[in-house]
Amino acid sequence: MISKAQVQALAAGDAWLEKGANLLVFGPPGVGKSHLAAALGLALIENGWRVLFARTTDLVQKLQVARRDLAL
């Protein structure tokens, strides 16, 4: 569960993005993870931040290729 205050803090982005942190969203199907991530991404873009929205499977595949190519 995430509170409105937590969502607003994440949307501001200042504290956690300046530290170079990432945001990973976990949970069962149908609880709104993608909607929350998209809304946060849009808010961050509107505040001047760059955003990468990717599926876990895509990230794992990229890591596997980098490992194979010794480019991690």
Render pLDDT for 57-66 as a digit per residue (tens, 0 to 9).
999 999 999 9
Number of domains observed in the structure of the chain? 1
Per-residue confidence (pLDDT) for residue 2, from 0 to 100: 87
Render pLDDT for 4-57 as a digit per residue (tens, 0 to 9).
999 999 999 888 998 988 888 889 999 999 999 999 999 999 999 999 888 889
In 3D, which of 55, 53, 59 has the Cα closest to residue 72? 59
Structural domain range at position 20: 4-68
* Chain centre to alpha carbon of residue 34: 10
Per-residue confidence (pLDDT) for residue 7, from 0 to 100: 92
Helix orientation angle between 33-46 and 4-12, rounded to the nearest 10 degrees: 40
pTM for the complete prediction?
Answer: 0.74
- Structure tokens, 35: 């909607």
Per-residue confidence (pLDDT) for residue 29, from 0 to 100: 93
